[in-house]
Amino acid sequence: MEKKIEEAYLRAQNFTANDLKELEQFRIDYLGKKGIITSLFNDFKSIPAAEKKKTGKLLNELKVYVQEKILENAEGLTKQSDYSTSFDLTLPANHLITGSRHPISMVRKEIIDIFSRIGFTISEGPEIEDDWHVFSALNFPEEHPARDMQDTFFISKNPDILLRTHTSSVQVRVMENNNPPIRTISPGRVFRNEAISARSHCIFHQIEGLYVDTEVSFADLKQTLEYFAKELFGVDTKIRLRPSFFPFTEPSGEMDVLCSCKGTGCRLCKYTGWLEVLGCGMVDPNVLTDCGIDPNKYTGFAFGLGIERIALLKYNIKDIRLYFENDVRFLNQFSSIV
């Protein structure tokens, strides 16, 4: 038995594979079901107990040696083939899979760029806010039904701490901390206690705009919004302003853009011909006063829009929930748009 092991060992020592086929044959000869080592292990069962220790050791050493020999040869052969046969410089490179921007990020960036071009800065505020910045300073009296327009998430039993329901809270912070002229937009996440459906979500994104200076008029607001709509939706875009109500602006309005059906009516505009895009108005003098700005000296306009809604219109997306599901089949569709 020991002699047989010795012979097998010597033969393995002298072996070098010229190609992968030879190496595979070597593996089968030694380690295969009917291979040398397998049959030696079978013979091992019937040798006298006294010899078992020594022979077993030799047999194991042989097995380890053969396994190492196979690895060693395989390494040599793959290196060889890398540099000779299969290295083809004319092959196209492996395709790199890159990610894409989320549609919300794309629209947010586009809107920021549009307003940056006419001198608006960017300001941010906290998502966890107090009652003052979200409601009271914006002329929502306590217990006033206007607060019901925005169903609020409260953080604790303390009704003063809440998740901001709109980014209008940032205009309060900006006015409290800066003197006019102020020209800023505030993008950010907002939260409302609303049932999730194709049209609404409890988390979404808004951009608030604020311009305060001497002699700012409704004409400035209208001109700014028209510029914005044409930049975002195309030069032929038509806008219209409808009267509306917000506690923090007086007068208040809502801006619609003419639908891509050109007013003939379609499903997107619910057959009205117009798409609602944002709320706006002249900053209420009470708000200016609350924020430490003299309403006799300064006037201002403000507007607020929902990014999800604009992206729905721009990319004809049917369901707002798609934005939050992280489904790559949805997200990949935006990879070609920069």
Minimum distance between the CB of residue 330 and ligand DAH, rounded to whole angstroms? 26
> Cβ closer to ligand DAH: 73 or 167?
167
List binders of ligand DAH among 233-252 (CB under 6 A).
246, 249
List binders of ligand DAH among 160-189 (CB under 6 A).
166, 168
* 228 lies in the site for ligand DAH, by CB under 6 A: no
- Beta-bridge partners for 301: 211, 282
Minimum distance between the CB of residue 119 and ligand DAH, rounded to whole angstroms? 18
Backbone phi, psi, residue 222, to 5°: -60, -45
> Cβ closer to ligand DAH: 26 or 191?
191
Of 23, 107, 125, 208, which one interacts with ligand DAH (CB under 6 A)? 208
Minimum distance between the CB of residue 183 and ligand DAH, rounded to whole angstroms? 14
The two structure tokens encoding residue 142: 């306590």
- The separation between the first and the last C-alpha atoms of the chain, rounded to the nearest angstrom, is 74
> Cβ closer to ligand DAH: 65 or 245?
245
> Cβ closer to ligand DAH: 62 or 229?
229
Nearest to 139 by CA among 283, 243, 279, 244: 283
* 304 lies in the site for ligand DAH, by CB under 6 A: yes
> Cβ closer to ligand DAH: 30 or 204?
204
Of 232, 287, 302, 311, which one interacts with ligand DAH (CB under 6 A)? 302
Number of residues that bind ligand DAH (CB under 6 A): 11
Of 103, 303, 312, 320, which one interacts with ligand DAH (CB under 6 A)? 303
Judged by CB under 6 A, the stretch of 6-14, 218-226, 262-270, 300-308 that binds ligand DAH is: 300-308
Of 17, 66, 221, 280, which one interacts with ligand DAH (CB under 6 A)? 280
User: Which residues bind to ligand DAH, rule: CB under 6 A?
Assistant: 166, 168, 208, 246, 249, 279-281, 302-304
